[in-house]
């Protein structure tokens, strides 16, 4: 029995449902849990093999980027054993993306530690999950959800003619959904207070607002405790959620500059708000 | 690679774009499909040929972080209240009333962590919590939230058949998982 059994009853299950055969897998990766659900499975062995390949890709990328592994490329760069420009192109790609987002977020997002060493974990999780999910799609898997630690991407439909219904976790009530979104494809990624201090540089605004000692529960000024981004790319939805959350009250407005991305914020009173001109009911349905 | 979303206003204002020189071309060349199989760009050879246009090139890779970074260890506590156990996860597999089982204490970068779980009669875990927490209260709050995303999915699956997935904030904690894994291995 593995840690993955928490995310589903066993680490790997296959069940027949009204929508056909469903194969689910959960695995520990990148310090969290990856969860893959394939619906309307046509070829179970091929599906299992595709999931194996996707998880192997996550493991490969973790081995490349993890700052917890002394043998990773990032660790070698940080020790001065490898020059940045001699790094594998995937490392260049990630650092390039990090740099772009650092500029685009005015420094709210950062892949470097205070001492200047690399710590791209804040970008890598969503990016790696997107690459791994692409392996499933590349092998002809059409209907699936691929989640790594609560940031997920879906393809196809969960049952014939049925869109995926994804709950946004209620940050104030464990196990409950604040609202839900229906999507046929694309990503849903959420950042929240629990991520603070890892790779998020809080804006002064946000830092003040989320300091428990100065917390005021007021619907007009209440701090955002969870920010979810919807959009076509999991890598960017995840990164935008991280950056926008770090911006505090300015985060929702910031999201509007990216075509195809929308956001849902939840404040400390549990109130929901959305980016741009989207009505909440257009984005996330409360139940 | 994921398509880079549009941020035209920012791009126009972005001084780095104006460089549009060798460093940007180098990055874009490394990023081009033609280089997909080149794990290590060969030193000394020019990777410039075949790269995409410089206009769409990303900025130079190496930049200095802005001044005044926040020390992660000095972050103020999260906004949520005192440490609380995640709500027991409902479901058809039985009541969540058994005696809790504790894992070993694991050292993490946030301090020692110990996990406590409650199983249903069928062995599935219905509750998990970080019980041994560091001296710093803000850290214990942070660690405790690790239980949330892991439990979210089973909570949703067990409690509401209308959802096929759940998105929520998460953090990574090797210590939490090591302690939890030890329980699972022993069980």
pLDDT digits (tens, 9 = 90+) for B67-120: 333 333 333 333 333 333 333 333 344 676 788 777 666 655 445 556 666 666
Q: What would the two tokens of residue A284 be? A: 């996330």
Percent helix, percent strand, percent coil in chain B, to nearest 5: 35, 15, 50
**B187 and A1: CB-CB below 8 Å?**
yes
How far is Cα A2 from Cα A29, in angstroms, rounded to an integer? 12
- Residues in Cβ contact with A211 at an 8 Å cutoff, skipping those fewer than 6 apart: B76, B77
- pTM attached to this predicted model: 0.64
Sign of the dihedral through C-alpha A150, A151, A154, A157? positive
What CA–CA distances, in Å, run from A153 to A219, B62, B162?
31, 30, 18
The residue of chain A nearest to residue B92, with distances taken between CA atoms, is A9
Q: What would the two tokens of residue A247 be? A: 């911006």
The size of the A-B interface in CB pairs under 8 A is 276
Rg for chain B, CA atoms, rounded? 24
Q: Is A86 helix (H, G, I), strand (E, B) or coil?
A: helix
Q: Is A228 helix (H, G, I), strand (E, B) or coil?
A: strand
pLDDT in tens, B125-166: 666 665 554 444 444 444 344 443 444 444 444 445 567 777
What CA–CA distances, in Å, run from A129 to A16, A29, B85?
26, 10, 29
Which residues of chain B does A89 touch, with a Cβ-Cβ cutoff of 8 Å? Answer: 30-31, 35-36, 38-39, 41
**B9 and A257: CB-CB below 8 Å?**
yes
Residue B47's pLDDT band, with cuts at 50, 70 and 90, is very low
Cβ atoms of B153 and B128 closer than 8 Å: no
Chain centroid offset of residue B159 CA: 25
Q: Could you say which of B87, B169, B184 has the minimum Cβ distance to residue A190?
A: B169
The pLDDT value recorded for residue B56 is: 30
Q: Is A244 left (phi over 0), alpha (psi -120 to 50) or beta?
A: alpha
**B61 and A99: CB-CB below 8 Å?**
yes
Higher pLDDT, B24 or A49: A49
Which residues of chain A does B147 touch, with a Cβ-Cβ cutoff of 8 Å? Answer: 174
**B164 and A96: CB-CB below 8 Å?**
no
Q: Could you say which of A107, A130, A145 has the minimum Cβ distance to residue B2?
A: A130
Placement of tokens 């850290």 in the chain:
B139
The residue of chain B nearest to residue A188, with distances taken between CA atoms, is B167
Chain centroid offset of residue A80 CA: 30
Q: Could you say which of B1, B167, B171 has the minimum Cβ distance to residue A194?
A: B171
The pLDDT value recorded for residue A117 is: 93
How far is Cα A252 from Cα A248, in angstroms, rounded to an integer? 8
Tell me the mean pLDDT per 10 residues along chain A, length 287.
35 73 82 85 96 96 93 96 94 95 93 91 94 97 92 93 88 74 93 52 40 34 86 97 91 95 92 88 78
Strand partners, A225: none
């Amino acid at each position: 029995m593995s840690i993955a059994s928490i995310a589903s009853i066993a680490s790997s299950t296959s069940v027949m449902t009204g929508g056909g055969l469903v194969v689910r897998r959960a695995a520990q990766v990148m310090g969290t849990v990856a969860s893959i659900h394939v619906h309307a499975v046509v070829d179970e062995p091929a599906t299992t093999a595709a999931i194996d390949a996707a998880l192997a890709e996550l493991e490969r990328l973790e081995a490349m980027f993890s700052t917890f592994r002394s043998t990773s490329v990032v660790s070698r760069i940080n020790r001065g054993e490898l020059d940045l420009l001699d790094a594998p192109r995937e490392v260049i790609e990630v650092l390039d993306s990090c740099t772009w987002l650092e500029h685009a977020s005015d420094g709210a997002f950062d892949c470097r530690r205070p001492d200047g060493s690399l710590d791209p974990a804040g970008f890598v999780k969503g990016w790696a999950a997107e690459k791994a999910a692409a392996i499933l799609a590349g092998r002809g898997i059409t209907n699936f959800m691929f989640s790594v630690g609560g940031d997920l991407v879906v393809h196809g439909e969960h049952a014939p003619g049925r869109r995926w219904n994804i709950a946004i976790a209620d940050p104030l009530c464990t196990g409950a959904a604040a609202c839900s979104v229906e999507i046929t494809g694309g990503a849903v990624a959420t950042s929240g207070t629990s991520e603070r201090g890892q790779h998020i540089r809080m804006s002064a605004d946000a830092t003040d607002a989320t300091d428990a000692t100065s917390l005021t529960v007021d619907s007009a000024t209440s701090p955002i405790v969870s920010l979810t981004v919807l959009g076509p790319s999991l890598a960017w939805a995840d990164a935008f959620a991280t950056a926008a959350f770090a911006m505090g009250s300015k985060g929702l407005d910031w999201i509007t500059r990216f075509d195809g991305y929308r956001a849902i914020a939840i404040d400390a009173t549990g109130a929901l708000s959305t980016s741009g001109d989207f009505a909440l009911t257009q984005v996330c349905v409360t139940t | 690679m994921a398509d880079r979303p549009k941020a035209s206003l920012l791009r126009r204002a972005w001084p780095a774009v104006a460089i549009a020189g060798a460093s940007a071309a180098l990055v874009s060349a490394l990023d081009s499909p033609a280089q997909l199989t080149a794990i290590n760009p060969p030193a000394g050879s020019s990777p410039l040929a075949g790269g995409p246009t410089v206009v769409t090139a990303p900025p130079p890779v190496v930049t200095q972080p802005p001044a005044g970074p926040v020390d992660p260890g000095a972050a103020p506590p999260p906004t949520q209240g005192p440490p609380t156990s995640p709500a027991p996860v409902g479901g058809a597999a039985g009541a969540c009333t058994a005696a809790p089982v504790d894992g070993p204490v694991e050292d993490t970068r946030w301090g020692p962590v110990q996990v406590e779980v409650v199983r249903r009669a069928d062995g599935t875990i219905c509750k998990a919590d970080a019980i041994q927490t560091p001296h710093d209260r803000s850290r214990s709050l942070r660690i405790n939230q690790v239980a949330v995303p892991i439990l979210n999915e089973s909570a949703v699956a067990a409690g509401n058949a209308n959802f096929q997935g759940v998105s929520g904030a998460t953090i990574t904690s090797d210590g939490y998982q090591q302690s939890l894994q030890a329980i699972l291995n022993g069980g």
